[in-house]
Structure 1
Amino acid sequence: MCSTKAFIIFISTLSLYFSSSLISAQIANDTDTLLQFRLQTDPHGNLLTNWTTSNACIASWRGVKCTNGRVTALMLPYLDLRGPVDALAELDQLRVLDLHSNRLNGTILPITHCSNLKLIYLSNNDFSGEIPSDIVALKRLVRLDISDNNLEGSIPKEVSKLSRLLTIRLQNNVLTGQVPDLSTPLPGLKEFNLSNNELLGKLPEVLQRKFGYTSFSGNAGLCGLSPFPICSSKNSPPSAAIAQIVPSNPSSLPDASSNANQEKGRGKKGLSTASIVAIVVGNVVVLLVITSFFVAYYCGKHSGENDLSSKGRDKRRSGGSYTSEKKVYASTGSVDSDGTTASDRSKLVFFDKRKQFVLEDLLRASAEMLGKGNIGTVYRAVLEDGCIVAVKRLKDANPCGRKEFEQYMDVIGKLRHHNIVRLRAYYYAKEEKLLVFDYLSNGSLHSLLHGNRGPGRIPLDWTTRISLVLGAARGLARIHEEYSVSKIPHGNVKSSNVLLDKNGVACISDFGLALLLSPIHATARLGGYRAPEQVESKKLSQKADVYSFGVLLLEMLTGKAPTLCPSPSQLRETEQGVDLPKWVRSVVRDEWTAEVFDPELLRYKNIEEELVAMLQVGLACVAQQAEKRPTMVEVAKMIEDIRVEQSPLGEDLDGSRSSLSPSLATTEDALTNC
């Protein structure tokens, strides 16, 4: 009897020993897995700096959450991590994966091995390939956000088997094929966004009624209920969606021989009547296009018109345009002194695969001039498919060669962040340089602060103001972090360069334009809020950016328009504005702090502490000595600490963001998302 009890005790002890050993091994495996992930995505070790100890859970590694010694959450957004996520396949207890707004690449297949995942946020990266059918293994998945990548192929039918899904965000990719009907197998689905892909065919009526037009806009091949085109009797996509898309170079247009070869490939012995008609029409189109290029060249050479496109002449008689660039096509064999051929000049260079268009689309666009600056003119261009973009036509920029210009554009175009206006494409020719940006439909912080002051104005409330400057701070901090080694500044921080998208999210614009000017010219012409040291040094810097942002904070708090570039003689209020840092210091010094704040803010109760806290952040940024100013990362953190839980930009695990207050409701429709 005693021997039996002893044997049982021995077996139990042995089981506990092996269980403990197994758990220890699993914990060690999780740590090793994360270290491998770090090697792949942070090879220089300057991002995940505390991932150095032997145990990821005990040492509280950045972005790592553990339960019972196992890694259950990995949250590392906005870190500029680069590389694949292959190593993460070993984290079998992972529940939350939030890596949005990095530069991760490769496929998303490895994460399908993390069978316990509930929340996946991988938006705004560089993932490519198809959505794997193995995603069906993620039975517990609740939220799936893989938007704003370069994913292609069709949406796998296996998604319909993930019965717990509440959110599916696949917008802004290059997905093709038809939209699967997920209404019946996924009755709990609350959010479904497939906008801005290349989907085609009939859109299931139940899905369209449930999620609305905006969830499927930007897919030219879809048909269904209004405002989509009506489907044919066979529910085939509109002809526009399957028409062959040709590049801007006329020599690349399909010819009769290519059509004939295609017919032979189908096994036909001869050409059908429809094929012959198509060939004839194609040749006529080619002839008309070539003729139009010569006409455009002649008119551009002899006409004084200077419009964005011929369609807008009746609306816009002043400002720059691209019309003169049509002469590029008149000489397909010419080569510029910098090695640029006519073929090169005819192309727009895009930074991602989604929703590309050709130069001719831009030339035909209906355009409206939004404003002129010291470095160029900005237009709002509406393409024929309804897509809206902002186009900046540069003037008097540094006359750099093509290679140097492309290097500058690469710096700007590869920077992705939720609070930075994105450069979508550029066009280079010796005599013309164009930048194409996402169009943001809600104006600027400057117009919201200073526009229509007086009776009848709807004040910009405190919650909205703090959310907008927080967004701008995050965007500027990302720029400084991205280029911490090369110390590339923004160089033109001011309230008119803080733009609002259709959801009321603040984005910093005009980053990188300082690269196109010499330092002295950039300081003089860009017009941002100039720091004291720039009067003598004539140089831009990240510390000067912090000063400029501090002036922007004071502008938000006081409601006063500052002098853009104050000199020692501009110490009092002028027609251009007021030297805000000096004026605020004088008021605070005399203990009249309440006199500093915008009267529109004083109507709100119980925000005095927040106002004073924000004022202290602003004054820290405008310190006279550059070395005493905080970094933009520190500034963003200080603003978050003031009121982060109440900010409209605050994020939950779902990654959702609230929009502006009702007084700033969006008026632009979904066609701005192209």
Structure 2
Amino acid sequence: MAIVRVLRASPFLYIFLISISTLTASSVTDSEALLRLKKSFTNTESLEPWKPGAEPCAKGRQWPGLQCDKGTVTGLRLGEMNLSGKVDVDALVLISGLRSISIVNNSFSGPIPEFHRMGALKSIFLSGNRFSDEIPSGFFTKMESLKKVWLSHNRFRGEIPSSLTQLSNLMELHLEDNQFSGVIPRLEQRTLYQFDVSNNNLRGEIPSSLSRFNASAFKGNAGLCGAQLGKSCGTSLASSLPPEKKSNDKKSNMIAYGLLISAVIIFSLMMLGIFVLRRRQLKFDTIDKENLEESIALDESIGVDVSASASSKKYMDDWVKKRAGSLRKGSSRDRGPSHAELNWPARLKIIRGIARGLGYLHTELASLVLPHGDLKSSNVLVTADLEPLLVDYGFSAFISTNQAAQALFAYKSPEAAQDLNISPKCDVYCLGIIILEILTGKFPTQYVNNGNGGIDLVRLLKSVITEGKETELLDPDIANARQSSLDEMVRLFHIGAACTESNPNQRLDVREAIMRIEEIQIEGGRDGRPYHVLPSLRDGYADAPGSRLSPQVSGGQERGQASWRRHDSFGNQSGRRKSDSFAFDIS
């Protein structure tokens, strides 16, 4: 009571005491905080070098289990050290630079530590312990910087915390091998590229926002249903409904049957209309398939026959496709036997060829607003010599704007999707997407019409460029190259970013993109043919000295006699396998 009276009488004394308390807390060094943390552990033999009087991040004498940056502790790497006891979060909050915590494969138990008090954390790796109990639904609300959450192989129970949906930058979420129950929250982050909730007690329908992940991410949950598991949700849900809801379901089923019948009728009419239209096209088509087979010449001089009708041009592209392998056959999740052949030099050669081919089209079809209009990996063919051929170009001249917006990939560029603002730079945006797909080996969400599936590579790249972590996005098959090659890959990433700028005025034009790609080098010297800058695109690439760029447009070098070979796609979307090591790097 006397103390209260003194404080009331002297508010300045109260402020003074608060200041002293704050000063004391802020004066705690990283070394002192880490020693406090060590005291909360048991079995600390592996932390023997953690002693008073030593600097944790001293050059050449850095304490084990730490990640340092310019003398500051930024991460704890305490995995597989046989540690147990309690994690003293009070000590951790005193380490102001701490951004990542890994205590995987130890013997910690009890509720999840109060890491939610550390709002600046970017990654937490708690897998392989004996943590248990429920995680509060709002646990992650204030952890807005969090990107990687690994809670797998523990004993957590209860519902998956709904606050995970608020982590706008979430990239990796591993909850497998726990005892989580309830439904899966609707995680709609486009940045999320690793996800696993297998071997829990989850139930209900898999959210459509997670449809891009395969069945292995959901297996071991008897109550889950959805297309990924080949299990319909209708029967299991109906059996658990009360009688009044079942009655409503019967009415809903009647409505659904009616809609289905209507849809069948409409579809039949559409097919009839397409049949009639096709007959009319065949009637007036000036080029028949037999003559085309005899007259078409796949040599370096072939360019673009803008006088051909849409139907005959489509057949010409199909004719070429039979003799080459698509750059992306199926999806980027498929890794075939030829995948390993696509090393860094091979990928750079393909990207250069695609860029040159696009530049050639922008010269020969300069009168078109969209010289290509549908540039994507499935419309790039690759010969046995890794020469890319561009197909399915120029269709924007033959179809309406509404049809083009539905069918052509160039209309997925931001300005086209929002305002139907079409320009040749829409093709440059498509080129940028291909560059990112080839470097990362991941399937871009921009290829998916409904927005569900794939990875938003443009947004993800902007995030890692901001933090200088571009190499984390590289396809693992090329990420182990020498530093000089990695530097060139990062340069190519930046070119891809410049090609996919949301503002077309800030986006590279075709010639700038080609020039910058040609500057990328392979270790040991410049690779590929010389590229000569023309006064303008309309001057024609064929007139440039020492350079013929037309083979990249539906062409080949041996008049169709080359032996073609399919190259499977570049990467894997499903993420890290269980046997893989943890990626600890802060991102």
TMscore range, shorter length: 0.3 to 0.5
Instruction: Give the TM-score of the pair, scaled to structure 1.
Output: 0.34
Q: Which has the higher contact order (CA 8 A, sep 6+)?
A: 2
